[in-house]
């Protein structure tokens, strides 16, 4: 199994998909889910929201596990409009079906903020790398 620079990475997420991705590329890691407020700030762009949440998740865990790299991520799915409509995680089967019907035959965006944070126990400062990946998705018509 590959090492993340010679140490075990911490994944600040309980997401099965994120776990699968790290296992697929053979990164040595452990899971310690972050617990943060995931609300949107007034006027916050979706791209900024994804990056902020990823950074806050990684930072929360990194402060408790100093001198370790922590990976945080957050994915935002949006439908175009003014303002953009954010699709959250469905809370029921009915809500999931409703979301799929909303996406049917339409374009939407998937934006994933990613943050790597390593908090120094000696200086109390963090090394932080943050970026966002954006994908335009066209959903086929569900009939």
Active site residue ranges? 74
The DSSP-derived string for 13-82 is ---HHHHHHHHHTTB-EEE-------PPPTT--HHHHHHHHHHHHHHHHHHHSTTSEEEEEEEEEEE-SS
Answer for the pair 47, 111: CB distance below 8 angstroms, yes or no: yes
Answer for the pair 29, 12: CB distance below 8 angstroms, yes or no: no
**Residues in contact with 130: Cβ distance below 8 Å, sequence separation at least 6, in sequence order:** 51, 54, 55, 113, 114, 115, 116
Give CA–CA dist 105/28, Å, rounded: 40
């Amino acid at each position: 199994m590959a090492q993340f620079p010679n140490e075990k990475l911490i994944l600040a997420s309980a997401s099965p998909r994120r776990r699968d991705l790290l296992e697929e590329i053979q990164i040595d890691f452990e899971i310690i889910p972050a617990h943060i407020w995931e609300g949107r700030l007034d006027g916050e762009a979706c791209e900024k929201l994804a990056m902020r949440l990823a950074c806050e998740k990684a930072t929360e865990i990194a402060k408790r596990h100093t001198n370790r790299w922590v990976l945080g991520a957050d994915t935002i799915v949006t439908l175009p409009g003014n303002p953009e409509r954010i699709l959250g995680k469905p809370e029921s089967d009915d809500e999931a079906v409703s979301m799929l019907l909303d996406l049917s035959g339409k374009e939407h965006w998937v934006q994933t903020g990613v943050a790597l944070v390593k908090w120094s126990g000696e200086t109390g400062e963090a090394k932080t790398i943050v970026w966002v990946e954006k994908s335009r998705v066209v959903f086929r018509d569900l009939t």
